[in-house]
Chains A and B, each alone.
Chain A
């Protein structure tokens, strides 16, 4: 299964409710499951009229399953499948989010393990662009939170789904897909608030401020590169303001 499909599955999980704190607490659905607007399959709304029997008649006896000769102890086993299952069906693929039979995927290895350097440098790239237009105090606050994120990541305190989704988030950010990045931040806040609440609001603000910057402050990475590649920086782009010091008509925002 490739990284994206696994990421998708991680987005659609169900956890059991908190039976210790709440009577019959219902299961908890991930943000991905709750926002998926699939067509409603069944509407359980039908009722049955009571039988028009006269007074005093007992309700009709429904057909009951006559068991096979019961074993000496315990009930007869359930009816077997009529035909042997077709090959390949013996272990059905896990359906998206069945209740009580799926834990949150937490595999330890993955070929697409996100890279902390890539994620942090992407965030810092955006922050660097923001510093030209956004008040310093706000940028410092964001920087502090990116620091908390980095420290938490490096010390192994962030779970794999969070790391993966941050990888996707920064890829979207670098490609200028602001709504998508915003949606990922939201899904992380809903699904993993305990892990991310300290620093995620900084990422949220960063997305909000970055998308409002005028385009020439940003060198948008049109090719959605992976987090392990460097984002295109101004020194690589021949048209960048740093390259050509002459001509006021070419260097607008970097004039001091």
Chain B
């Protein structure tokens, strides 16, 4: 008999779906009473090495406003060769090619183990992938050299028939012609002037010349392709020339006076890039890759002026409405992002600088198009170089782990409508959150069949240029909340619920004031505890939560302290960066971000997970903490002294050497695979970098309460943050209170 844990895990492994509730309340009223909405995390392109794609078109329901895909939940009459759509109950004949099916010879899409199935459907000629590099030249020489080399290296990682292009910018914006012979030419744009898409295409020669005062018309497709060839060429033809061109890239020649920032025209550079791709390859998979070493300081999209004495906006400035460029710059980049998304072009941002680069304003470019944001201190760091390499990692089939031009359709039973989203660019770990509304009226009977069904249809261009469709069809039982509330409670998936509520919180935080989000989060938690906690009225000590909810309050406690909701410890760019990654990672990684993992290494046994609490910090332990963005290895006081004394070099203390090595080996596994690459901190008791650990652990011992307990165990944290114990105490008091 499968437990809910096993059921949840099997479903995630097979379909990439996890629901907050695995039994669905049968009315809208009951659904709202559950506090956590019926919602799911869905990974559309979850890697399934065991799922070979099928080479035929999916069979669709013939009803015009349904068009659901044939799936294992459909009733089939094998003799009459008819199937009944489980969404709209329409009876459909099978196509002629299915004449040979029978109940012992079923097509894959009817078998339960193929609740997720992928179809290869090549329509039209295969289109090559396009990579357009947009490179900031206002960098220090060391950084520019490192970036040149990374870009040259990337040419070896691109597929030979991919198209590649180069735009460089500083004070001016240059679009480089990549011819195979002769002198390198480029088209130069002023970095201060806003240009329309049409103007850009005209100036680049992508429009037919006007005749007798007529408007310039866009070139016919084949002519446009030929014209754009000058700017976007196949790698296999231009790799040598482009390598030289990259090698000869110079720093922006305009001198930067003392006390000033370089004039950086990022806004125009991106306008030109988006306009170029729009005019030449609409509706084809493309990646614009922006490499920038500082904030935009002139022209549309500028984020700060060129006077160094005026600092770039902080959260305090924004709160006090003192960020004069914020609205206008965000609008500029949002417009570009929307145009790109419509065309299936994604935009990545690789920002490496010690100060902010304007990620707050530019984040929509990546967020709306499915592009990456990578944030580092310098292009001459391992963090940038390796993260950038990992953009081009290949899967078990030797294909890139990137997909383009995605659209996601969701079909729900009984609603009759279909919701569709454009998900421009995807990779196998991209995970979306979906929130559903139960529309059944209260006390209406449970729908026919007793089960609700949802179908996810993801169409996309695979990196090997094939067009594919992945279909996932799932079902869950309806339940009457009046009589089956305990069953519904048992079906609660607290891990995914935490992530789903967190994503809602981040969404609210980005559109509302900060403190309100914490109040909202607390209110939801209290309501959930009031609904499902077992307690006697007004008796906090009697409060208990069942196992399916026992970890949930702790997740909420850590979420409240996380950089996703607490912004004042970070710059606006850092917050944007953390949130960007949080809302696209899969469940396991998202949970790590909410509540970091902490493992303890000691002589007493194998490595074990320990409480994320100051009491876990002990002199004779090594701790490994994973926050997703950082890996921290912390050596307790005694361990640090032993290490300093050099015991690991002595033969008779071989086990100490192994102890020191163990967390490094475990960290290595993570470092080798994670995207983006995390920072790596090796620190010890008293080290300045220990703050990364101390700021994350629950401060159960602080300077306020240390001596009250009379026992000095664990390291005290200097903070006035409320501890988990105090948080839980307050929560219980409020949950059991009859006046709440």
Contact = CB atoms under 8 A, between A and B. Distances in A.
B678 interface: yes
A65 B603 contact: yes
Contact of A55 (B541, B652, B679): B541
Given A26-B671, A189-B156, A205-B240, A49 B551 contact: yes
Contacts of A29: 386, 671-672
B725 to A, nearest CB: 7
| Residue with the highest number of chain B CB atoms closer than 10 Å, among A33, A59, A208 | A59
A77 B647 contact: yes
A-side interface mostly: loop
B666 interface: yes
Contact of A22 (B377, B653, B678): B377
A141 B597 CA distance: 53
A45 to B, nearest CB: 6
Contacts of A200: 156
Interface in A5-62: 14-15, 17-18, 21-29, 33-34, 37, 40-42, 44-50, 54-56, 58-59, 61-62
B714 interface: yes
Interface in A76-93: 77-81, 84-85, 89-90
Interface in B521-553: 540-541, 550-551
A64 B612 CA distance: 18
Nearest to B541: A54
Interface in B582-636: 588, 591-592, 595, 597, 599, 603-604, 607, 609-613, 615, 618-620, 624, 626, 630-631
Contacts of B670: 44
A186 B156 contact: yes
Interface stretch (A97-105, A107-115, A123-131, A166-174): A97-105
A49 B647 CA distance: 35
A138 B607 CA distance: 57
A77 B653 contact: yes
Contacts of B540: 55
Contact of A48 (B180, B380, B382, B609): B609
A80 B655 CA distance: 7
A252 interface: no
B597 to A, nearest CB: 5
Given A47-B551, A193-B152, A205-B240, A99 B667 contact: yes
| Residue with the highest number of chain B CB atoms closer than 10 Å, among A21, A45, A84, A145 | A21
B638 A75 contact: yes
A46 B596 CA distance: 10
Interface in B665-704: 665-672, 677-682, 689, 700
A79 B103 CA distance: 67
Contacts of B108: none
Contact of B679 (A23, A193, A194): A23
Interface residues on B, range: 35 or more
B567 interface: no
A158 interface: no
A48 B611 contact: yes
A67 to B, nearest CB: 8
Contacts of A120: none
Nearest to B156: A189
A48 B626 CA distance: 15
B436 interface: no
B711 A50 contact: no
A238 interface: no
A197 B377 contact: no
Nearest to A23: B377
B729 interface: yes
Contacts of B607: 42
B355 interface: no
Interface residues of A, number: 71
A47 B655 contact: no
Contacts, number: 208
Contacts of B603: 65, 78-79
B711 A26 contact: no
A201 interface: yes
A24 B667 CA distance: 14
Contact of B651 (A63, A90, A197): A90
A59 B714 contact: yes
Contacts of B142: 21
A50 B595 contact: no
B240 A202 contact: yes
B595 A47 contact: yes
A59 to B, nearest CB: 4
Interface in B295-334: none
A89 B655 CA distance: 12
A72 interface: no
Contacts of B714: 59
Given A44-B626, A79-B655, A201 B239 contact: yes
A10 B645 CA distance: 31
A85 B667 contact: no
Contacts of A79: 603, 655
Interface in A197-239: 197-198, 200-202, 204-205, 208
Interface in B72-93: none
B561 to A, nearest CB: 15
A74 interface: yes
Contacts of B713: 58-59, 61-62
Interface in B155-174: 155-157, 160
Given A75-B641, A79-B655, A204-B156, A18 B609 contact: no
Given A48-B609, A78-B603, A59 B700 contact: yes
Contacts of A155: none
Interface string B642-672: 1001010001111110010100111111111
A116 interface: no
Given A24-B680, A50-B554, A78-B653, A34 B381 contact: no
A165 interface: no
Contacts of B668: 14, 97-99
A21 B588 contact: no
A79 B653 CA distance: 7
Given A29-B671, A37-B396, A44 B624 contact: yes
B728 to A, nearest CB: 8
B268 to A, nearest CB: 29
Contact of A17 (B597, B619, B680, B729): B680
| Residue with the highest number of chain A CB atoms closer than 10 Å, among B240, B389, B728 | B240
B677 to A, nearest CB: 5
A25 B604 contact: no
Interface string B128-153: 00000000000000100000011011
A45 B152 contact: no
B570 to A, nearest CB: 14
A184 to B, nearest CB: 11
A255 interface: no
Contacts of A47: 551, 595, 597, 609, 612
A197 B732 CA distance: 64
Q: Which 10 A-B pairs have the closest CB atoms?
A: A22-B381, A26-B680, A28-B382, A21-B378, A17-B382, A24-B679, A46-B609, A58-B709, A22-B377, A189-B156
Given A55-B732, A208-B160, A208-B236, 19 more contacts: A17-B383, A18-B382, A21-B381, A22-B381, A26-B383, A26-B680, A28-B385, A34-B386, A44-B624, A59-B713, A65-B620, A74-B645, A77-B647, A78-B659, A79-B603, A90-B651, A137-B180, A185-B156, A186-B157
16 contacts: A18-B378, A22-B376, A23-B679, A44-B609, A47-B595, A47-B609, A49-B550, A62-B615, A62-B618, A75-B642, A100-B664, A100-B682, A142-B240, A193-B150, A197-B247, A201-B156
